[in-house]
Structure 1
Amino acid sequence: MRPFTYQRPATAGAAVAAVRERPGAVYLGGGTNLVDLMRLGVATPEALIDVSRLAGAGVQETPEGGLLIGGAVRNGDLAAHPLVRRRYPVLAEALLSGGSGQIRNMATVAGNLLQRTRCSYFQDVTKPCNKREPGTGCPARDGDHRNLAILGHSEECVATHPSDLAVALTALAAVVRVEGPGGPREVPMPGLHRLPGHDPSRDTRLEPGELITAVEVPALPFAARSVYRKVRDRASFSFAVVSAAVALDVADGTVRDCRVALGAVAHAPWRAWEAERVLRGAPATGDTFTAAALAELDQAVPLPRNAYKVPLARNLLVRVLTDLTDLAAPEAR
């Protein structure tokens, strides 16, 4: 690991100023991803600006009935928060599936959203990788891509985004609050994360020096009936092969509204707009759920060794929609 300096500013403004003054500086949250990348030699920052203890690291109810979540809130605290568990169980489930208790108690919400891909070529500095070194190629396309993207990828990159929380927040249309050299702004989800295109080195649409200070989750009454399901290679603390975050509003046997996002299938959390279009106003039946999944996955372009993800994602989405429908109160059907 290369030498670096360390600072712990007292405010978000001071943190932004510290990064602006040091071109080689990066923000440090819980460090559960960044420190690993530093040990591997993938990340070589000259300075760490610790933002894990900034004020505002709490969860508040907004006047509209949503939630405002501080960027420095620990994942474990967010997963256990009563308002989250009651109004947005999809968030709690995503967080609880994302790592061990020790990791959740260190990792922050902002850091979770900004964690980088676990593609083996990106993490191995002896291998070429367009994300790590633009222009060197993407060996995953012809190599080990079993767990990589089937949607939205490009010739330059087939990596997937690893965050579980980001998938749930994408389904809920969360808004990320950012502080940067140009002042505060808001970034919607989806929209924070990028598809690779011709420049996979950029994971997000954040500008240099911008800091995530909070995430606002809008009020969504039917999100009280929501789930996050994750298919993985082993039962505990493994990154997703495919995941789904779904909130469903069913009344009189009809889907009145829904929110659907898929994870581990693209370079960014994937909002399933086509599936939602098919679902809204349609009968809450297995045939509808299958049609919705097929409509979304018709966009998939799998590689030879990850084509299995297409039927896996279809079956997962149908199962989640079916389970949520079965959970609906009888009077709401």
Structure 2
Amino acid sequence: MLIDIQDTPDKAKRIFNTITVAFDEQNINPTPLNYFVWYQYFKGDNPKFRQAMDAILNDPFGYNDRVGKRLYDEFLVEDDNAASEFDRAFRRLIGVMVKKMHAWSDKLETHTKELDACTSKLSDPNLNAEQVKAITNSVLHAASSMKESSKAFQEEMTQSSIEVKHLRQQLIDARAEAMQDELTELGNRKAFNNAMEELIFDAQENPAGLCLIISDIDHFKKFNDNYGHLVGDSVLRYYASIMKKTKRDNETICRFGGEEFAILLANSSLEEAHERAEEIRQAIESAHLKRKNEVEPISTITASFGIASYKGSKENSEDFIGRADQALYKAKNDGRNRIVLETDLSENTAT
């Protein structure tokens, strides 16, 4: 029985996130054996195995199921260093499947030998009716046994397939969890980087349609000093909830770091991004937050915003983020609680 990946160490989660990406990129079958081989590869505890795997990955033919089975038999089947509970569970699953395949292979070989023997006997022209009947019964028995063995094997493989699908879903869930900010339940910086990469690729035909809003809660350090980090965490969660409640289908919202948040808007203009930022700015400014068991609200919370649009292949993601960050810096420098577009930066430069 598979263990729940949520109970595995963080290292295991990171490794399986990497495996999922590698499988998608290289079109590798998500079988238990392949997961185990790649898990051990990225874990890096077996230098000889890792060296062999590196050589295969550099080979033009690359990795496939047959290669994975060979690597498992040569380097991993007797490896006792995999002491974690996850490794043991994975090993049990693979061991069971390998035994089932070997048992089926042995049965198939036995049935084949029986049929070959019957065929050889039937070639004798001197057989009488009783002998032919006996051989025919043997053929029918072998065929029936083969059918039953095949059905049992299919049922066993179906059950194993269900377990593999369950594991696959656990890996997907773990990947999503690994890209979620624990405090705000928004995407984290890794989620932002992944979304940025995908959206830049999609925006090649219409670069200006991809916009980035970076916002920063004003005077957040002073707020934490005055009210404490627990209240500060509540403010971050509340700010995130404002963005999540009004999230649109074309938006990716992430916690960029600390009290900074980022929104990537696909198929959007600078004007539309400005409207979205203004909507958030007004919502947080008008909030009346108060601590439990207190009547008076805590001090007003405001945020500043910088907005940029993608310029296409002539710039990289760092340049794109940098322009939004410069606009945010100007908003802070000009008095906070305001929105600055990248066009405001160019206008200032011209004057």
Q: Which has the higher strand share?
A: 1
Q: TM-score range by the shorter chain?
A: under 0.3
Q: Which has the larger radius of gyration?
A: 2
Structure number with higher relative contact order (C-alpha < 8 Å, ≥ 6 residues apart): 1
TM-score (normalised: structure 1)? 0.25
